[in-house]
Structure 1
């Protein structure tokens, strides 16, 4: 194998270990970066940048996917495999509460929108009913000719 192929294989293996959460040379906690991949592969400073195809096609998409799902509190929990400290428990509770509040606000806004639409439809239907009643009143009117006193006397 050429030296570049060996180095590329080391980079790929390092990336896989970091994604799996089983690094050998760097700490487990922390977001995934090109520097961490470089250090896990045991390469010199910024050596990873010499492999532009690997960086653009493999590393950057993997880093983006990993970091979007990365939660430092969960990572700390897996790292220690112990009870969370009080501060971490509170941080986790706050995070859950804010997520719930956001969800509840969204549900409330959706319900208010639905309520407004139903009110508008109800008003429209009530007005249409009123119009129909008025039209029927005009149709059912019977015209009586009232006999005047002049005609009766004649």
Structure 2
């Protein structure tokens, strides 16, 4: 095997590891690309471009994986994050409703408080009037 065949073999093995979802050097969630294959193979930028047939193979696999792989781990992660966001939005809305109810209750309590205070003041005035009427009646009845 000459150097060119060895390099192509290493690139093909790296591509197979990426397809099978068991890469050694790149992230499992990384999409298949020429650069990802080169990094998985431990080669530099542009190493794969010497093999035009291999580049076409990668491009074909990219097209297939885009249409066949809707449930990748990245999609699952996005789905779980979206679900968490929906739950948080629901919790936020529930707290907004509770806050509005609490504000209404506070407003009603303040209104009742003001009404009671007004009634207390009126009753105090009435008591003072009765006391003053009572003292004038006592003074008028007392023998002088």
Q: TM-score, normalised by structure 2?
A: 0.50
Match of 1:74 in 2: 72
User: Hey, what's the Cα distance between the residues in 2 that align with 1:25 and 1:33?
Assistant: 14
1:49 counterpart residue number: 49
Residue-by-residue CA offset, 1:64-105 (whole Å, 9 max, x unaligned):
11122334x631488x9xxx88524358xxxxxxxxxxxxxx
Partner of 1:94: none
- Structure having the higher helix fraction is 2
2:83 equivalent among 73, 86, 89: 89
2: distance between equivalents of 1:46 and 1:4?
Answer: 14
1:65 aligns with 2:64: yes
State the shift of 1:39 in Å. Answer: 0.8
User: What corresponds to 2:101 in structure 1?
Assistant: none
Aligned-residue CA RMSD (Å): 2.7
Detail structure 1 runs of 4+ shifted over 6 Å in the superposition.
none
SS in 2 for 1:5: helix
Distance 2:58 2:75 in 1: 26
> If you compute each CA radius of gyration, which structure gives the higher value, 1 or 2?
2
Normalization by structure 1: what TM-score? 0.47
SS of residue in 1 equivalent to 2:37: helix
Contact 1:32 1:67 in 2 (8 A): no
Corresponding residue SS for 1:67: helix
Q: Counterparts of 1:7 and 1:28 in 2: how far apart (Å)?
A: 23
How many residues are matched? Answer: 85
Report the Cα distance in structure 1 between the residues aligned to 2:80 and 2:9, rounded to whole angstroms: 42
Listed as ranges, the gaps of 5+ residues in structure 2 are 86-144
